[in-house]
Amino acid sequence: MSTLDQPTRARRHPQPVTWVILGVLALYAVGPLLVLAGNSLKSAREIDSNPLGFPQAWSWSNFAEAWERAHMGGALLNSAVIATATALGVAVIATTAAYAMTRLELPGGGAWILWLLVSSSLPIQLFLVPLVSWWSTLGLYNQPIGLIIIYWAVYSPFATLLVRAFLVGLPREYEEAARLDGAGELGVFARIVLPMIRPAVLTAALVAGLQSYNEFMLAVTFIQDRDLQPVALSLYSFQQGFTTDWSLVSAAGLIMALPVVVLFLTMQRRFIDGYVSRGIAV
């Protein structure tokens, strides 16, 4: 037995080549971000002579200048409003819809799931063109609320599937007991079910909020005014300028990335679980 055991255990220790490959992949993933961080601290002169290396003199003033010139303050505020409204709206839409599909007497059964699957995999390009003129007619074009409604529609099918999967696995005993006690349907939903499905709702809201913060195609199509632009658009126009100052672009890019990276690092397990279910659940 021990003769069999030994080689098995020996092989479970990763070989050096494993560490080398994993290290190279880690460098590939994070290295470019380190260059971005380094460049954000260089002066425009230094970036010409030393584009990839460690910054010599740290010019923190880049951040103030980028903040000013790329209109980051207003743009971040716009993005915060859009991401928060998207997260909250998607959470409400997905939770109520998933509850109706799993717990209430909603006619249709499996057809709803098929419809969710189809609409979550329809290309945005399919409805983009008519949507622009519909939104102009409705006065929603070039309005943050118009963009937020689109995000609600685009991100809620997946979120509904996610919350639904969680609800399906949840035992119904507590709900039955509360009903026998005379609790109304709304009471059962709000006081019994909602606290129990909070993790799934939070994951769905986080993923939707992050996606709306990063989203580009719909934002660039539906928001024209600079004052209404989310940060993705202001960073885009800032790097399109024809005398591009890479140290300022790097600083602006870092300002945009920082909230997301911090949020991700603090709640990485919830994020990754949400995305994993996106890759497998459908």
Partner 1 sequence: MITETATTGASLAGAPVRRGPQPALRGRPLGARRQRRLLAWVFVAPLLVVNLLVVTGPGLASVYYSFTDWNGLGTPHFVGLSNYGEMLGSDAVGSALVHNVLWTLFFLVVPMTMGLVGAFLLSRLRRRQTFFRVLYFVPYVLATVVSAAVWRQLLDPDGGVGAALSTLGLPFLEGLGEVNFLGNPSLALGSVAFVNTWQWWGFLLVIFLASMQSVDPALYEAVRLDGAGPVREFWHITLPMIRPTLVFLGLMTIIWSFLVFDYVYVLTQGGPAGSTDVLSTVLYREAFQNQRHGYASAIAMLLSVISALTVLGYLALRRRLRWDV
Based on the shown chain and the rule CB under 8 A, indicate whether residue 216 belongs to the binding site for partner 1.
Answer: yes
Distance of closest approach, residue 268 Cβ to partner 1, in angstroms: 5
Based on the shown chain and the rule CB under 8 A, indicate whether residue 179 belongs to the binding site for partner 1.
Answer: yes
User: Rounded distance, CA 163 to CA 49, Å?
Assistant: 53
Q: Could you say which of 56, 139, 266, 275 contacts partner 1 (CB under 8 A)?
A: 275
Find, among 249, 118, 101, 209, the residue nearest to 165 by Cα. 101
Locate 54 and state its tokens.
Answer: 């460690």
Cβ contacts of 32 within 8 Å, gap of 6 or more: none
User: Rounded distance, CA 257 to CA 8, Å?
Assistant: 44
- What is the dihedral sign for C-alpha 211, 212, 217, 220? negative
* Cβ nearer to partner 1, comparing 67 with 264: 264
| Location of structure tokens 């409604």 | 149
* Cβ nearer to partner 1, comparing 81 with 178: 178
Q: Restricting to residues 77-106, which ones interact with partner 1 according to CB under 8 A?
A: 92-94, 96-97, 99-101, 104-106
Q: Restricting to residues 180-209, which ones interact with partner 1 according to CB under 8 A?
A: 180-182, 184-186, 191-192, 195-196
User: Rounded distance, CA 268 to CA 264, Å?
Assistant: 5
**What contacts 24+ positions apart, CB below 8 Å, involve 109-118?**
113/161, 113/164, 116/157, 116/160, 116/161, 117/157, 117/161, 117/282
Find, among 254, 222, 216, the residue nearest to 237 by Cα. 216
Total residues at the site for partner 1 (CB under 8 A)?
A: 106
Distance of closest approach, residue 254 Cβ to partner 1, in angstroms: 8
Distance of closest approach, residue 252 Cβ to partner 1, in angstroms: 7
User: Rounded distance, CA 105 to CA 101, Å?
Assistant: 8
Based on the shown chain and the rule CB under 8 A, indicate whether residue 113 belongs to the binding site for partner 1.
Answer: no
Based on the shown chain and the rule CB under 8 A, indicate whether residue 133 belongs to the binding site for partner 1.
Answer: yes
* Cβ nearer to partner 1, comparing 110 with 195: 195
CB contact at 8 A, 97 and 160:
yes
Distance of closest approach, residue 32 Cβ to partner 1, in angstroms: 5
Distance of closest approach, residue 145 Cβ to partner 1, in angstroms: 12
Which string of x and - marks every residue 218-237 that binds partner 1 (by CB under 8 A)?
--xx----------x--xx-
* Cβ nearer to partner 1, comparing 64 with 282: 282
Which string of x and - marks every residue 8-37 that binds partner 1 (by CB under 8 A)?
x--xx-x---x--xx--xx-xxx-xx-xx-
CB contact at 8 A, 203 and 166:
no
What DSSP state is assigned to residue 226? G
Q: Restricting to residues 243-262, which ones interact with partner 1 according to CB under 8 A?
A: 244, 246, 249-250, 252-253, 256-257, 260-261
Q: Where are the alpha helices (DSSP H) in 70-109?
A: 72-102
Based on the shown chain and the rule CB under 8 A, indicate whether residue 156 belongs to the binding site for partner 1.
Answer: yes
* Cβ nearer to partner 1, comparing 4 with 57: 4
Distance of closest approach, residue 61 Cβ to partner 1, in angstroms: 19
